[in-house]
Structure 1
Amino acid sequence: MISPSFVKWVTTGLTISSIGLSIPAALAQEVPTFNWETLTPTANLNWTSCYSGFQCSLLEVPLDYSSDKGNASIAVVRYPATASKSDYLGPILFNPGGPGGSGVTTIVSLGAEFAELMGPQFDIVGFDPRGVSFSKPFVSFFNTAAERQIWTPSDLNLRYPSLNTTSEVTSNQWSQFQLISQLAQERDTEDFFQYMTTDNVARDMLRITEAFGFEKLQYWGVSYGSLLGVTFATLFPDKVGRIAIDGIMDWEAWYSANLTGSMMDTDKTLQTFFDGCVAAGPDGCAFYAPTASEIASNLDALTESIRAEPFPVLTSLSHGIVDYSFFRNYIFAALYSPYNAFVGFAHGLAQLSAGNATEAYTANQVPEFECDCDAPATAFTQNIYESQIVTSCGDASVANDSITDLREFYANEAKLSSFADIWALWRVHCSGWKVHREGRFLGPVGGNTSFPLLVIGNTADPVTPIAWARKASGLFPGSVLLTQDSPGHTSLVAPSLCTHGALRAYFQNSTLPAAGTVCAVDAELFPGGANATATASAKRALLLTEESKLIDAVRAIGDVVSPIASMGRVNRV
């Protein structure tokens, strides 16, 4: 039974994916909840008032669309359109990534901001993909909350060790996820894990759209949500109303459980920190040195120092160790959302260089675990750990890797990026997975859609490179690639009147930006740097009220969605 009072957003463990290196305020706060157990799943959308100003429904869908295996129920929430009936343009579905991110909780936190961005003509719709959070059946590998916490420790050095730490890390991680796979098979007593795949979620989105009384999908998906979008467009090319995808996951990489190519721009993203720090000067960047190469060398020296002598940290909230694995994750985390992270990241590095690890540690700490140890694991509604493994590994072709295979895989990744020691864990997690549905969608993707897709990619995205955005755009004739000139993961890392104005126009007016459009962002990596404050203030003074509202809305959405889009070291995209 869901607690009738409050649900904590993020107690799965703050990991490197906590983009801003600290929990955004919108995530950290307790969000009033709604008791979904009071709803009965139906084949239609029967709306009930919920939360405050929202409407909720449980939509019944087939568990297996090719046979009679029973039903799943999809939790759907909408922030209702406020425009007149004659101006109403239907629902826009949103997926925040993960996989396993809760669309319900996202929209409950951000309904007004999404409406400000998209316009009052739309119902803003969030849904929990099958197996996730408030949808049923609920995916869990564990019988109790205590057992779950033991298997999903929050400390970065425990949960996501660098493969470059010791020679035993790869073999230990391989063994752990062989056991996780066995545990999942044992706990999958209703045999439904095999149906928690991306192609089935795409089919569920069509059912949601049809339940609204519309034939064609209107959808915005970021990070993993982009893969969901291209999968839908491939399966149902004649059902595309408007599909915008942002932070593009490559279908070949995803469906083969080989994300090596995702690291093409990772080191390029780190370079923007070095260059930005130099430009900001000593007053704007606490880790300043006169040249980018000096800053890079200082970071390397600090890394080796921490490898040799980790920092023990005790705070009023928790305790832990800032060691090599923690620090590597700490660096990687900053690359996801540079506009939020770089200033604090630079200060944390400076403190570490001075012998103080408290700031770096507290940026990622969570409270020590407390629970009713007899409480069932299903009492916990944020199950992104399990749902990500079930979906990403269940989607992919079978990966029967030996420990030797995985070490060779890591060696190949290391040729592409210095962050291979962190990213190669993705392959390890799927190496023992045995639950696969026969006939699941494995690609290829592409086709002539009933309306062109809008594809958005950043010039320096650490996990979904711009090359993947170009590739996706080319697979769907007529689609347009909009390039945002910024580091970070997805366009939501920073507001851009150009990017997000084009996104709004795409949904409101059915217009696409010109081919080759490149958009600047309305934000600065180091806003306290030399001349930065005056420049930002001057720009802000020139903005119209509506432009300011759009920027504020995008900034609020990004603060919440960015951590979801990269939730967890397992749940990176």
Structure 2
Amino acid sequence: MRALRFTSAAVALTLAITACSDGGDDPEKSSAPSPSASAPAGLGTYYSQKIDWTDCNGGFQCATANVPLDYAKPAGDQLKLALIRLPAQDRSRRIGSLFTNPGGPGGSGVEFIRSTGRAFGADLRSRFDIIGFDPRGVGKSDPVRCMDGPQLDRFFATDASPDDQSEVEKLSAESKTFADNCQAKAADRLPHVGTVSAARDMDVLRAALGDQKMTYYGASYGTYLGSYYAEQFPQNVRALVLDGAVDPRESSTQTLVEQSKGFETALRAFVADCVKRPDCPLGTDATAAVAKIAALQKQADRKPLTNSRDSRPVTESLVTMGIALALYLKELWPTLRQALTQAIQKGDGTFLVALADQLVERDQNGTYSNQTDANMAVNCVDKPNPPDVTTYKKSVDEATKASPHFGSFVVWGGLPCVYWPAKAKEKPKPITAKGAAPILVIGTLRDPATPYKWAQSLAAQLDSGVLLSLDGDGHTAYLQGNPCITKATDQYLVTAKPPKDGLVCR
């Protein structure tokens, strides 16, 4: 479950959004210098490239852009980035481009906008071209591909809550195979898929699309990408929304430990709601209900659940992944109650494995998107990782104590990074983005994948950070359709004026 994911499958089920922005004034000046005029040395060709948009159905337009594989060698090999846009409806009042990233790392920004572009506020759709792009190594942007479908099936089914040394060794072997496959199939790209380079790509795209400054909405990992953009290009920030924030100060393993705590918090919120409902399969007592979920996990560990979807046994890991996916979005809680009823009463894990497949973008025919490959590739080079399994296990033990239902699964999920051939060059550090215009950080109080404390931390780190909070459940806030969040976010993106710091929406 190695991921800071914002899955398109979950987003597609969100509530429709009603925009409440007042419109504001267009802050851009037509007499401003060319966006490519201040291109970094050696990158002028990239910054001034012409983007040719073509129709790609449904009112969308698609294109590609070139970026250097290695920014230290801009005259060397290139990568092609896939882009999509939903053009501004009111061209006479168009402000510019609203760049977006759905998270992951590994989430396709192209598919995100194709599925949810019209869920953005009405003022945003009217005054901005809504832009999605697949970051380097993701989706259609020279994707990193390491594992085929059967290999990923085996990787995800492997017991990620090992009970003895032999199970640890089996998990380690699968993790090493993942890393070895990436080395064999994508060695040239692995050192260059990290967030620092992806943030530099964003500035190339900004200039190539003719924007003087960056306007951006990033969710989940997209907040980490946006933070690094602001750190490298503070003078180019117009308005950045960082929704479901990631804390850049935490180590690779501490990030996973804290994430596992977020899932534990979200599970208890689900249980508190479930026990009040007549269709809850967990009973009426919250403490006993949590114990029933643990018992289901253990049952699947001893004997996998059945599955009428395909031939895969529903192991403990798949059960846990299915539960986790449903915690991303409160609208999936009824589905989770149904899945747990099927699993507890009949020993049938069909619904749970279907949810697990959504989490990792597995089609019913057994094929996967490259989300998992890209997710691992970016995470493993973004921050240093422990040197061996023994050291790594200390973080697993910490997580298991703090999050008994998810800790082991979340942290062990990052084990391939111990064997990763490309090593991280950056170390965890605070992001200040000194000199940037106000940056809006949004946190949801019971967010499973990006704990609320991360939003508080990032807003405090940023010199111009402003914190907006949602007292609610689910992963990220903006696309949940809360009118208070929508109004505050849309007004900020249109006017570049943030809401009052500390505003809490309910």
**Equivalent in 341, 344, 359 of residue 350 of structure 1:** 341
**Count of residue pairs brought into register by the alignment:** 466
Q: 1:226 and 1:485 mapped to 2: Cα distance?
A: 19
Q: 2:302 and 2:451 mapped to 1: Cα distance?
A: 33
Task: Indicate the residue corresponding to 1:290 in structure 2.
Answer: 284
Q: 2:382 and 2:296 mapped to 1: Cα distance?
A: 39
Q: Which amino acid letter does the alignment assign opposite residue 82 of structure 1?
A: Q
Deviation by residue 1:194-230 (Cα, 9 ceiling, x = unmatched): 1111111111111111112222111111111010011
Q: Does 1:513 align with 2:505?
A: no
Task: Indicate the residue corresponding to 2:306 in structure 1.
Answer: 312
SS at match of 1:485: strand
Q: Does 1:385 align with 2:383?
A: no
Q: Does 1:69 align with 2:55?
A: no
Counterparts in 2 of 1:39-58, with a 5 A limit?
43-58=49-64
Task: Indicate the residue corresponding to 1:327 in structure 2.
Answer: 319
Q: 2:338 and 2:171 mapped to 1: Cα distance?
A: 32
Q: 2:489 and 2:101 mapped to 1: Cα distance?
A: 15
Contact 1:413-1:420 within 8 A present in 2 as well: yes
SS at match of 2:169: helix
**Equivalent in 379, 397, 401 of residue 384 of structure 2:** 397
SS at match of 1:78: strand
**Equivalent in 92, 96, 99 of residue 93 of structure 1:** 99
Task: Indicate the residue corresponding to 2:171 in structure 1.
Answer: 173
- Using the aligned pairs only, state the percent identity: 26
CA drift at 1:238: 1.1
**Equivalent in 482, 488, 494 of residue 496 of structure 1:** 482
Q: Which amino acid letter does the alignment assign opposite residue 76 of structure 1?
A: L
Q: 1:182 and 1:367 mapped to 2: Cα distance?
A: 25
Q: 2:119 and 2:424 mapped to 1: Cα distance?
A: 38
Distance 1:446 1:354, change over 3 A: same
CA drift at 1:173: 2.2
Distance 1:431 1:257, change over 3 A: farther
Task: Indicate the residue corresponding to 1:114 in structure 2.
Answer: 120
**Equivalent in 235, 243, 247 of residue 246 of structure 1:** 243
Distance 1:182 1:157, change over 3 A: closer
**Equivalent in 405, 411, 423 of residue 410 of structure 2:** 423
Task: Indicate the residue corresponding to 1:80 in structure 2.
Answer: 87
Q: Which amino acid letter does the alignment assign opposite residue 494 of structure 1?
A: Q
**Equivalent in 182, 185, 188 of residue 187 of structure 1:** 185
Task: Indicate the residue corresponding to 1:105 in structure 2.
Answer: 111
Alignment root-mean-square deviation, CA: 3.0
Deviation by residue 1:425-450 (Cα, 9 ceiling, x = unmatched): 24312111121375x57544213243
Distance 1:154 1:510, change over 3 A: farther
CA drift at 1:400: 1.8
Contact 1:199-1:441 within 8 A present in 2 as well: no
Counterparts in 2 of 1:443-462, with a 5 A limit?
443-462=429-448
Contact 1:243-1:453 within 8 A present in 2 as well: yes
Instruction: Name the TM-score, length of structure 1 as normaliser.
Output: 0.74
Task: Indicate the residue corresponding to 2:453 in structure 1.
Answer: 467
Distance 1:113 1:328, change over 3 A: closer
Deviation by residue 1:254-308 (Cα, 9 ceiling, x = unmatched): 66775322233332211111211233x32xx422533322322333344444444
Contact 1:233-1:449 within 8 A present in 2 as well: no
Deviation by residue 1:426-482 (Cα, 9 ceiling, x = unmatched): 4312111121375x5754421324311110111111221111111100111232111
SS at match of 1:82: coil
Task: Indicate the residue corresponding to 2:150 in structure 1.
Answer: 150
Deviation by residue 1:531-572 (Cα, 9 ceiling, x = unmatched): xxxxxxxxxxxxxxxxxxxxxxxxxxxxxxxxxxxxxxxxxx
Distance 1:225 1:322, change over 3 A: same
Q: 1:462 and 1:215 mapped to 2: Cα distance?
A: 36
Contact 2:4-2:103 within 8 A present in 1 as well: no
Structure 1 regions of 5+ residues with no counterpart? 1-12, 27-40, 143-147, 372-379, 521-573
Task: Indicate the residue corresponding to 1:543 in structure 2.
Answer: none
Q: 2:5 and 2:115 mapped to 1: Cα distance?
A: 19
Distance 1:309 1:469, change over 3 A: same
Task: Indicate the residue corresponding to 1:162 in structure 2.
Answer: 160
Q: Does 1:220 align with 2:217?
A: yes
Deviation by residue 1:16-48 (Cα, 9 ceiling, x = unmatched): 97979999689xxxxxxxxxxxxxx99221222
Structure 2 regions of 5+ residues with no counterpart? 15-45
Instruction: Name the TM-score, length of structure 2 as normaliser.
Output: 0.83
Q: 1:252 and 1:475 mapped to 2: Cα distance?
A: 9
Contact 2:244-2:444 within 8 A present in 1 as well: yes
SS at match of 1:321: coil
Distance 1:434 1:498, change over 3 A: same
**Equivalent in 223, 227, 232 of residue 229 of structure 2:** 232
Task: Indicate the residue corresponding to 2:19 in structure 1.
Answer: none
Contact 1:21-1:341 within 8 A present in 2 as well: no
- Range that drifts further, 417-426 or 254-263: 254-263
CA drift at 1:392: 1.0
